């Protein structure tokens, strides 16, 4: 794949998000919930676009992983997470609730991959194990912060909207399970980073971007 094509992938992912956002902005299940859910993900998109424009670019692998949450969260904002058409999974595994939100939380952990890539690629950290642990702890901390945000929104907002954003679906351990899903996703993200860079091996320095990347 040429460098020009490698640099197009983030642009195509952004274009796909904008189309998805525009389409799902039409008649969401609850407009107030839609606003809240999208206002939590839009800053992520803005930051990534800003970094890309400034020349701080991640690998295509990192962009794909980061897009998972952005896409899934946008869909969840349209339906509210408990109402996303995910019934086939619920019935397949005999779940008692819609676990679409758990899937979205798992993809939050994927952001550990670009965190590690940035730390090692920019040589802000020289020991890989420190970067791996930082990626894991950063996601765990973010997960806790988001659960606090959901709690406060549920307490301060309209009861129905608060429950929709909280998305607990009657599970008293919902916050803890969401944080676990985030953390497991981070383990998966760091694990994928380790596997991909070990397979490349050779003379490539740890953390050097594999495609478009942070080193440019």
Q: Is 113 within the bounds of a domain?
A: yes
pLDDT in the model for residue 37: 87
Domain count of the chain?
1
Residue 128 lies in a domain: yes
Which range marks the domain in which residue 139 is found?
Answer: 3-200
Calculate the CA dihedral of residues 160, 166, 170, 172 and round it to 10 degrees.
Answer: -140
Has residue 215 been placed in a domain? no
Q: What's the pTM value of the predicted model, to 2 decimals?
A: 0.82
Residue partners of 215: CB distance under 8 A and separation at least 6 = 121, 122, 208, 209
207: in domain: no
Cβ partners under 8 Å of residue 163, min gap 6: 154
The answer to the question of residue 108 being in a domain is yes
Q: Is residue 210 part of a domain?
A: no
pLDDT per residue of the chain (216 residues) written in tens, 0 to 9: 555 666 789 999 999 999 999 999 999 998 988 998 899 999 999 999 999 999 999 999 999 999 999 999 999 999 988 888 987 777 777 677 878 888 999 999 999 999 999 999 999 999 999 999 999 999 999 998 888 877 777 777 666 665 665 555 666 777 888 889 999 999 999 999 999 988 765 334 434 454 445 444
Could you tell me if 56 and 214 are in contact, meaning their C-beta atoms sit under 8 angstroms apart?
yes
């Amino acid at each position: 794949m040429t460098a020009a094509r490698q640099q197009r992938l983030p642009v195509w992912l952004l274009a796909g998000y904008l189309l998805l956002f525009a389409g799902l902005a039409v008649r969401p299940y609850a407009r107030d919930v839609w606003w809240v859910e999208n206002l939590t993900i839009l800053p992520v998109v803005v930051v990534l676009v800003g970094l890309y424009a400034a020349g701080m670019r991640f690998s295509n692998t990192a962009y794909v992983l980061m897009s998972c949450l952005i896409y899934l969260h946008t869909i969840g904002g349209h339906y509210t997470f408990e109402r996303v058409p995910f019934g086939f999974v619920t019935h397949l595994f005999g779940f008692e609730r819609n676990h679409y939100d758990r899937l979205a939380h798992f993809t939050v952990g994927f952001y550990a991959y670009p965190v590690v890539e940035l730390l090692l690629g920019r040589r802000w950290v020289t020991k890989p194990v420190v970067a791996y642990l930082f990626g894991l702890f950063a996601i765990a901390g973010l997960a806790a912060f988001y659960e606090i945000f959901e709690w406060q929104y549920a307490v301060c907002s309209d009861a129905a909207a608060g429950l929709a954003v909280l998305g607990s679906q009657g599970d008293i351990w919902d916050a803890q399970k969401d944080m676990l899903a985030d953390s497991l996703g981070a383990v998966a993200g760091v694990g994928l980073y380790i596997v991909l860079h070990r397979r490349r091996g050779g003379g490539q320095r740890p953390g050097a971007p594999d495609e478009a990347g942070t080193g440019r």
